[in-house]
Amino acid sequence: MIINKRYHPIGLFDSGIGGLTIAKSLKELLPNESIIYFGDTKHFPYGEKSSEDIISYVKNIFEILLKYDCKLIIIACNTAYAASHKYLEKNIDKNIPIINVIDPMIEFIQNNHAENKVGLIATNRTIHSDIYNNKVLKCKNLNKLSSLATPLLAPMIEKGQNDDNKLNKTITHYLSNNSLKDIETLILGCTHYYLIKDKIENFYNKKIKILDASKMAAEKAESVLEKHNILSDKKSTNKDIFMVSNLTENFKNVVHKLFGENIVLKSCIYD
Ligand code: DGL
């Protein structure tokens, strides 16, 4: 018997709070869907971990999400995808559609910013994997991105850095780097940065376009669900579930701020 997964949840994961921005856009676009979110706070920051370590985390998280019978998995973390995409292509059950946050961004750039000088900021692991530029260089109409690793940002955001001065100084330090000189568009290549998008826009006095993939990824999810005929047509009765491998005060604060109190938040330890 073929089971239609129309009413099953959508699984998403990130190393921490960054992917919550994708979850938020997804719930706004597809309010009928229920979600299972995994924040791997115990192993944060992925940006400073080896690819081998990240692949083993990703394997474990997939196992957890698949136990909930998710109908679609969204890798809401650039770094996790950059480190594990080759592994996933070979090893994950092809019946589960998987989407990431990098491909929708490349498609958007191709359609809207092909003429622009585009910059990219992301974690060390993402920048050194060269995943963005490898994809960009396969598109005939795109030029190489001006890339910069900005490794101090995600940890400040994950911690809930409340000293704005310190955060703004770090942003200024990175964005003044010569490699980003003259850019007309900037890709936020780490989902954590979406949470400080306004500060980045302010640095540029709103003169350059700052791109985050939250809406793009949600739209991609919608089209994949439609294509597989598993888009929910009625409001899910399941509660959204948020799991973390280490329950931190800031994760709690951010998840409640974005999704309200009426959610399930639990610790899920794995090694
Ligand atoms: N949010 C993750 C990303 O999109 C990275 C943060 C980390 O270093 O764990 O790349």
Binding site membership of 21 for ligand 1 (Cβ less than 6 Å): no
Same domain, yes or no, for 134 and 183? yes
Residues 6+ apart with CB under 8 A from 180: 119, 121, 146, 148, 186
Which of the listed residues 77, 147, 196, 248 should we mutate to test ligand 1's pocket, taking the one with most ligand atoms within 8 A of CB?
Answer: 77
Domain that holds residue 224: 10-100+215-267
pLDDT of residue 4: 81
CA of 79 to the centre of ligand 1 (A): 5
Binding site membership of 79 for ligand 1 (Cβ less than 6 Å): yes
Active site residue 77: yes
Q: How far apart are CA 263 and CA 267, in angstroms?
A: 13
Query: Domain count of the chain?
Result: 2
Question: Is the Cα dihedral 84, 89, 95, 101 positive or negative?
Answer: positive
Q: How far apart are CA 43 and CA 246, in angstroms?
A: 9
Encoded tokens for 115: 């003429």
What's the average model confidence in pLDDT over 8-22? 98
Binding site membership of 150 for ligand 1 (Cβ less than 6 Å): no
4 domain residue, yes or no: no
CA of 193 to the centre of ligand 1 (A): 9
Encoded tokens for 188: 């936020």
What CATH number did the domain enclosing 51 receive?
A: 3.40.50.1860
Distances (CA, A) of 157 to 74, 193, 201: 21, 8, 16
Which of the listed residues 46, 84, 211 should we mutate to test ligand 1's pocket, taking the one with most ligand atoms within 8 A of CB?
Answer: 46
Edge-first strand listing for the sheet containing 209-211: 146-149, 118-122, 185-188, 209-211
Indicate the pLDDT class of residue 3, thresholds 50, 70 and 90. low
Residue with tokens 């000293």: 163
Global confidence as pTM: 0.96
Same domain, yes or no, for 76 and 160? no
Same domain, yes or no, for 129 and 88? no
**Model confidence at 107: pLDDT above 60:** yes
Binding site membership of 194 for ligand 1 (Cβ less than 6 Å): no
pLDDT per residue as tens digits for the range 200-218: 999 999 999 999 999 999 9
Q: What is the CA radius of gyration of the chain?
A: 18
Within 10 angstroms of residue 143's Cβ, the number of other Cβ atoms is 14
Same domain, yes or no, for 95 and 222? yes
Same domain, yes or no, for 202 and 221? no
Binding site membership of 102 for ligand 1 (Cβ less than 6 Å): no
